[in-house]
Structure 1
Amino acid sequence: MQEDFRLIVDLVTVLAAAAAGGLIAALLRQPALLGYLLGGVIIGPAGLGLIKELVQVETLAQFGVAFLLFALGVEFSFAELKKVQAISLGGGGLQIALTILVTAIASVTMGWVTSPAQGVFLGAILSLSSTAVVLKCLMERNETETPHGKVMLGILVVQDLALGLMLAVLPALDQPAEAIGIAVGWALLRIGLFAAGAVAVGIWIIPPLLRLLARTESRELFLLGVVALCLGIALLTEHLGLSIEMGAFVAGLMISEVEYADQTLTYVEPLRDIFASLFFAAIGMLIDPVFLWNNWELILGLVALVLVGKFLIITPLVTLFRYPLKTALIAGFGLAQIGEFSFVLASEGQALGLVSRRVYLLILGTTAVTLVVTPFLLRLVPQLFVWAESWPWLKRYLDRTDLPLAASEEVPLKNHVVVCGYGRVGRNIVQLLQEHQYPVLVIEQSEQRIQQLRDAEIPYVYGNAGSLHVLEKAGVDKAQGMAIALPDPMSTRLSLKRCLEIAPDLDVVVRANKDKDIELLYQLGAREVVQPEFEASLELSTHLLTSMGAPLSSIQLEVQQIRNSHYYGLRPERTANQISRDLRVAAQDMNSKWYGLPEHSPLLGMTLEETDLRRLTGVSLMAIRRAGGNEVDYPDARTILEPGDRLLIVGQSEEVAAFDELARGEAAVPKESSSCQWLMVPAESPVAGQTLAELDLQGQYDVQVQAIRREGRFIRFPTGDTDILVSDRLLLCGNRDSLVQVRQWIAPALQLPMLQIPVVKANVSETLQEFLPPDSLREL
């Protein structure tokens, strides 16, 4: 076969293997990245040996990392980099230095290497994490804008920049200290000159060039010019002794500040995805399964050492920069692998004689295994948090890390609207509500946005919107409504569920990041779910239909019907299997459990509205699997529970335990005519310090205490020996006359009939729709 044709055959073979592997992984509900790696293993030299020109394929695969980092640079921008500059520069630099120091000392002491230079080289390899793998996982989970996503990307950027410095120092490792110092100084000088040149090009050359390309109105020319620019700068950095990947990232940063950044990203994304799959398949081709099998004990030991060691270095560093413990833990797990750039260092080290062939193969094997393990670790982290919170002492420790970091001096105490997230959407909501004299309080976790709130004198709470302590500090139990506009689905779900634990009747409007999240958010208790793309479609259609003479009143009625149907008519058709699969994936990130209803459960024959599970137990019912095999996903309030039902419930361990008590008849279900209301025990209450048995509310007033909220935790279905303390919030169920009598006894000084969520004249969503201009609606 002709040599020039061989490359085409190899390229098609690699792409086909990556596609097949990714498809199989998707069908097995595993990360597609794992399929790409396995596809490369199968067709590589250690597998079927279908690829003959491995070097050429690896060269093409470098485009994958280049486009990945180019797209990251376009999305990240200098403004975004500045938000995490402390953890990025300080934390990233310390992490690299500590990893090299610890590895060098340990390897020399244990006799793994024969010289300190080899220990430093090994430390440099271990200090790098995988930008490609972590970025791919974050994008698949829509978590690039989360605090832990920004922390990981900030550290990864510094690691990528450090690669050029490491490559420059490698040849001098065996030389005297003066040679190493000269090599470091020369490398820093090149990096500095390149950075200065990049800033100048980004200011004076890139913007007019992109405007010229855009003026041609040719998609092909624009894409061609952008790709040539990206690869040209990447080749320049390679020529300067830095890395192609660093040049691609810097090229993306230069374009990020231009008005055509979004258009550039849209055009480059397909190329990025194709070449990224090629890159991961090329990594798979480097893996030798036989070598892994023959040395599996040693490699598994090295993998464990790497994962644990890097986790123990990165996690404390992130907490040192005042990030919450959960953010630090996720970052520690996410960056605990060895990166793809370590292959570059290992190859250079072998060529320079710093490592033997066997050590080189061990490094490759260890790196490959850590890359495969990383997606599973990131998927496992939410379950680890759920497991940790099932242990009271761990839960108390984790809860302390979610305390508010700061709050404005004047925080509204009642009748306000809480806005979670102060991004573009949150900022618009706050502006509109303030224009109509609604008191507003913002919950935000970004230090930069908190400073914006301080400058604008907008009340705020600095902390995690999914934390019970932060939500309590924001006074959601006394708020009129709440709007959740957070960047990632997991934080949105957690914030929604936690706020309704505190205030079950709160009017909550939520922005859905994806259309498949709509029903899930409604099921978790949202009063209204807004999907930005669908809202833009409705506004555009309304304008067009009215301009063509259709009656405005009928159009508004039709639009409202579409909203009331949860955009059902606009959503793409999905099979029952697809809906069920998406539901399972979403439930995996929360504490979910399939629960079989007992044979004589008092809940049988009741509708979900009658059971009022969320208020009484805190769990959310996501699906019902009938005895006959049928499944009801996202059941509505009229759904009746039947014998043999298995329920998919979501809730914390104590909430699931409370539901179990209710389902088995060990806790009383409120009567159909009962009302349930929350009441706070004031300091002067005569019942403070007594047990429920001593109060005997059931015997005297026919009122049940279904739950007690105390200092950030719930006590569901408390027993008779439970003490009543000052500031406890009691969930009382009974008829209205009895509830009034109980209030007069427990809280005689209160002027309000009960401590309830104030009634709102209109939903937050209705208020926004009434006052929101079409342009703002498109942004929302």
Structure 2
Amino acid sequence: MPFSLVASTAVHLPDLINDLGLILVTAAISVLIFRKLKQPLVLGYLVAGFLASANFNFFPTVKDINSIEVWAEIGIIFLLFSLGLEFSFKKLLKVGGTASITALTQIFAMIVLGYYAGRFMGWDNMNCIFLGVILSISSTTIILKAFDELGVKSQKFAGNVIGALIVQDIVAILMMVLLSTVAVSQQFSGSELVKSLLKLFFFLSIWFISGIFFIPTLLKKLKHLLSDEMLLIISLALCLLMVIFASEVGFSPALGAFIMGSIIAETNEAEHIEHLVKPVKDLFGAVFFVSVGMLINPDTLVEYAFPVMILTFVTIFGQSISSTIGTLISGQPLKESIQTGMSLSQIGEFSFIIATLGTSLKVTSDFLYPIVVAVSAVTAFTTPFMIKYASPTAAFVEKKLPKKWVKKIELYSANSQAIKTVSTWKIVIKEYLFQVILYSVILFAIILMSKNFLLPLLDDILYGHIIAAFLTLLVLAPFLWALSLKRVAKAEVQELLKNRKYYGPVIVLIFIRIAIALFFIGLMLNNFFSPEIALLAFVFSIVIMMIFPKNINRLYHKIEDRFITNFNQREVTTKNLNRNNLSPWDGHMANFTICAESDLAGKTLEEVKIRENIGVNIAFIKRGGLHIYIPSKEEKLYPNDEISIIGTDEQVKQFADYLEQHKLNTETLLESEIVLQQYELRDQWFIGKTIRESNLREKTNGMIVGVEHNGRRILNPESSLILSKNDIIWVVGDKKKIKAFFS
């Protein structure tokens, strides 16, 4: 009876679980097919979404679209968080002018081209603006996937491309904020845009400064308590906390996720957290891309086939040409410029996110989203071919261009790499300006937080305003001292003071800093007291600052040291080398990993003769936490060693082929059976020789782990042990090779 009752009761699954199961099954089948076809997996997810949508009736369809949209929003958050983990503010500084000029030239050109392409097709203003931004951002996912499949990631131009992608991602985040402002206000007011930019700069500065000050210290203090599970939970909690902060002040949740990722990227745990978060990102990222595919309407694509063709043409040629021009302007050779430009000729994940923003704000038309998806799909298919044929195209262009043009480009490239001097006065102005902006942001943020949180908390307490003002002044004091009295650009200022004409301007700069500091003291007190009391408090505050200058100075330097230590934590630990290209030469640094299946493992650099055979030099070897700089010829290579070599593109490619040739047959390795075998020595040729002289390790990939000699058992014997007749030995290794060795 109980059995029949249970059997007859139908278990009702929520639509969300049914929909998620359908999405993942469809996605799994699609990506397997696309993996087999060697196409980007993103396209597989888009196809899966189309198959699972109501637009395709041959399969079960997703029932609760709203729930999937929530999951897709989570997917965007984790995608941006993971992107932030791969990005660091130092990395942005290191990409230099080449990547910045390339990316900014491309973005500006494509926004203009996209906008006027939309106007040409009769679209309204808002659709054209979003279209221009959508077409300006290349796909990091698709490009890196294509680089891996084509084996060009170690070539010199790839570094320019990756640097440009970093800059593009940052600009994309900024443009998302500006688009949100424009969409909400429905007007293009210059004052509104400036206000949004200042607001963005203010919050980014505060989040970054406070995040770097607290989070690396927190992770360092808790390191001995953190398991993988706890580290994952803490990192996701920090991500979602910043998402909440960003949302509360009116920014995109994705911006908060990206900022927290970039803060954690400066810590020692960044790579570990990135590894832990990857499965979460992959799951929700798949749901996001599948949800994008659900919006593909075949009827819309047929209706708008002409716009898809036009925008595909604009994307491929516009991105390629504008990026090539930008790279040339930055001072790179013609070949690298064309390779860089043709690699950036597609749109992808950020374009989807920006298109989603337009849809969610209800400021773009329904047809824009499927058109963007279609253009992305086509350009994703063409990307590997664009990269593959970039070198032949560069050779063709160089051949067809007038020789004097080619020589001028080469001369411009060489001159662009020359070191340019900067005047001492400009250095001083730059340093003073940086100090004033930095500490003004910090002081304003402290005053704002004190007014909105501390003062209401103490408002009902006797002398609450005085206590709040005093506590705020204590927090402000070290930064007020740094703003007004900290010595900036000491050597340069001393040099300027030797020239009497700079004496007055330097004094003016000092007084300006002091005046700004006094302004912030007055601003703070004005929020707590009436004007009369505020004036007395102002005088009292200055007296306090003058009585305890050494204490305030000491406190500030403690804060500064903590920030600098945290900011440089990962760099100090890893001791990264400066991997600048040897421009305008073709030489550059490239990283490779000695795989576990390589027969180079265990050999010295003298034995492998990399420099003699290929002509490259090994700059350093990274082995776990150990860094070996300029290794000697006696240094051995081990599995999973990361080595950095210096050579030309051709030499780097030869080295990649060399590593591939020295991989052992993995199928044979998988088929081999590792066993522990026992043998009694009777008439083997190596009786009377040492274990080392038997060459058993070299011939069988095995080792002797035990010897029984005259009733005495020796576990893990030394290689100098002499083997005798009637000894019983235990050998571990490949079953077939051991059998052949003893037969």
- Report the TM-score, using the length of structure 1 for normalisation: 0.51
- Relative to 1, partners in 2 of residues 1:519 and 1:97: Cα closer, same or farther, differing over 3 Å? closer
Aligned residue number for residue 100 of structure 1: 111
Shift of 1:294: 4.1
- Relative to 1, partners in 2 of residues 1:306 and 1:390: Cα closer, same or farther, differing over 3 Å? closer
Aligned residue number for residue 423 of structure 2: none
Query: What SS class does the counterpart of residue 14 from structure 2 fall into?
Result: helix
Tell me if the contact between 1:223 and 1:268 (Cα under 8 Å) persists in the aligned partners.
yes
Shift of 1:161: 2.1
Aligned residue number for residue 383 of structure 1: 389
Inter-partner Cα distance in structure 2 for 1:389 and 1:485: 31
1:90-134 C-alpha deviation (Å, 9 max, x unpaired)? 5444433333334445544x362355x654343233333334444
Matched, 1:155 2:167: yes
Match of 2:123 among 113, 116, 119: 113
Matched, 1:218 2:227: yes
Matched, 1:373 2:379: yes
Which residue identity does 1:155 align to in structure 2? V
Shift of 1:220: 0.9
- Relative to 1, partners in 2 of residues 1:5 and 1:372: Cα closer, same or farther, differing over 3 Å? farther
Inter-partner Cα distance in structure 2 for 1:365 and 1:494: 38
Aligned residue number for residue 289 of structure 1: 298
Tell me if the contact between 1:40 and 1:283 (Cα under 8 Å) persists in the aligned partners.
yes
Aligned residue number for residue 617 of structure 2: 483
Q: Equivalent residues in 2 for 1:88-487 (5 A)?
A: 89-105=100-116, 107-108=118-119, 110=120, 112-115=122-125, 119-134=128-143, 137=146, 146-171=158-183, 174-175=186-187, 180-346=189-355, 349=358, 354-356=363-365, 360-374=366-380, 376-386=382-392, 389=395, 393=399, 405=414, 446=580, 462-464=585-587, 482-483=616-617
Aligned residue number for residue 65 of structure 2: 54
Tell me if the contact between 2:243 and 2:256 (Cα under 8 Å) persists in the aligned partners.
yes
Aligned residue number for residue 496 of structure 1: 651
Shift of 1:363: 4.5
Tell me if the contact between 2:150 and 2:388 (Cα under 8 Å) persists in the aligned partners.
no
Inter-partner Cα distance in structure 1 for 2:37 and 2:116: 43
- Relative to 1, partners in 2 of residues 1:399 and 1:7: Cα closer, same or farther, differing over 3 Å? farther
Shift of 1:343: 4.2
Query: What SS class does the counterpart of residue 88 from structure 2 fall into?
Result: helix
Tell me if the contact between 2:99 and 2:167 (Cα under 8 Å) persists in the aligned partners.
yes
Tell me if the contact between 1:389 and 1:395 (Cα under 8 Å) persists in the aligned partners.
no
Tell me if the contact between 2:347 and 2:376 (Cα under 8 Å) persists in the aligned partners.
yes
1:517-537 C-alpha deviation (Å, 9 max, x unpaired)? 6564569xxxxx9x9xx9xxx
Tell me if the contact between 1:213 and 1:225 (Cα under 8 Å) persists in the aligned partners.
no
Tell me if the contact between 1:104 and 1:120 (Cα under 8 Å) persists in the aligned partners.
yes
Query: What SS class does the counterpart of residue 373 from structure 1 fall into?
Result: helix
- Relative to 1, partners in 2 of residues 1:558 and 1:346: Cα closer, same or farther, differing over 3 Å? same
Query: What SS class does the counterpart of residue 616 from structure 2 fall into?
Result: strand
Shift of 1:374: 2.1
Query: What SS class does the counterpart of residue 205 from structure 1 fall into?
Result: helix
Shift of 1:226: 0.8
- Relative to 1, partners in 2 of residues 1:335 and 1:386: Cα closer, same or farther, differing over 3 Å? closer
- Relative to 1, partners in 2 of residues 1:81 and 1:262: Cα closer, same or farther, differing over 3 Å? same
1:42-83 C-alpha deviation (Å, 9 max, x unpaired)? 112212451122232233233334333333332332222211
Aligned residue number for residue 63 of structure 1: 74
Shift of 1:23: 0.9
Matched, 1:83 2:94: yes
- Relative to 1, partners in 2 of residues 1:479 and 1:497: Cα closer, same or farther, differing over 3 Å? closer
- Relative to 1, partners in 2 of residues 1:556 and 1:9: Cα closer, same or farther, differing over 3 Å? farther
Inter-partner Cα distance in structure 1 for 2:690 and 2:330: 55
Work out which of the two has the higher radius of gyration on C-alpha atoms and give 1 or 2: 2
Question: Runs of 5+ in structure 2 lacking a partner?
Answer: 1-9, 420-570, 591-609, 621-641, 670-688, 704-743
Shift of 1:286: 1.7
Bigger mean CA offset, 137-146 vs 76-85: 137-146
Inter-partner Cα distance in structure 2 for 1:318 and 1:392: 16
Shift of 1:165: 2.8
For the aligned residue pairs, the C-alpha RMSD in angstroms reads 4.9
1:431-465 C-alpha deviation (Å, 9 max, x unpaired)? xxxxxxxxxxxxx9725xx6xxxxxxxxx984345
- Relative to 1, partners in 2 of residues 1:88 and 1:169: Cα closer, same or farther, differing over 3 Å? farther
Which residue identity does 2:650 align to in structure 1? S
Which residue identity does 1:554 align to in structure 2? R
Aligned residue number for residue 14 of structure 2: 5
- Relative to 1, partners in 2 of residues 1:394 and 1:23: Cα closer, same or farther, differing over 3 Å? farther
Inter-partner Cα distance in structure 2 for 1:386 and 1:379: 11
Q: Equivalent residues in 2 for 1:487-566 (5 A)?
A: 494-496=649-651, 510=655, 520-521=660-661, 554=692, 561=698
Inter-partner Cα distance in structure 1 for 2:644 and 2:385: 14
Which structure carries more helix by proportion? 2
Inter-partner Cα distance in structure 2 for 1:375 and 1:174: 36
Inter-partner Cα distance in structure 1 for 2:645 and 2:290: 30
- Relative to 1, partners in 2 of residues 1:113 and 1:497: Cα closer, same or farther, differing over 3 Å? closer
- State the aligned residue count: 470
Shift of 1:478: 10
Tell me if the contact between 1:168 and 1:241 (Cα under 8 Å) persists in the aligned partners.
no
1:334-389 C-alpha deviation (Å, 9 max, x unpaired)? 43334444445445546767544xxx314522333324532541354223424664
Inter-partner Cα distance in structure 1 for 2:694 and 2:256: 52
Tell me if the contact between 1:58 and 1:282 (Cα under 8 Å) persists in the aligned partners.
yes
Match of 1:27 among 33, 36, 45: 36
Which residue identity does 1:208 align to in structure 2? T
Which residue identity does 1:446 align to in structure 2? N
Which residue identity does 2:23 align to in structure 1? V
Query: What SS class does the counterpart of residue 87 from structure 2 fall into?
Result: helix
Q: Equivalent residues in 2 for 1:617-628 (5 A)?
A: none
Tell me if the contact between 1:88 and 1:155 (Cα under 8 Å) persists in the aligned partners.
yes
Shift of 1:263: 1.7
Aligned residue number for residue 72 of structure 1: 83
Inter-partner Cα distance in structure 1 for 2:286 and 2:649: 33
- Relative to 1, partners in 2 of residues 1:346 and 1:147: Cα closer, same or farther, differing over 3 Å? closer
Shift of 1:9: 1.8
- Relative to 1, partners in 2 of residues 1:89 and 1:182: Cα closer, same or farther, differing over 3 Å? farther
Inter-partner Cα distance in structure 2 for 1:141 and 1:198: 39
Question: Runs of 5+ in structure 1 lacking a partner?
Answer: 410-423, 431-443, 451-459, 468-475, 500-509, 524-528, 535-550, 571-780
Inter-partner Cα distance in structure 2 for 1:248 and 1:305: 32
- Relative to 1, partners in 2 of residues 1:142 and 1:557: Cα closer, same or farther, differing over 3 Å? farther
1:465-510 C-alpha deviation (Å, 9 max, x unpaired)? 599xxxxxxxx999995336799999989523888xxxxxxxxxx4
Aligned residue number for residue 704 of structure 1: none
Structure with more relative contact order (C-alpha pairs < 8 Å, separation 6 or more): 2
Which residue identity does 1:30 align to in structure 2? Q
Inter-partner Cα distance in structure 1 for 2:282 and 2:402: 42
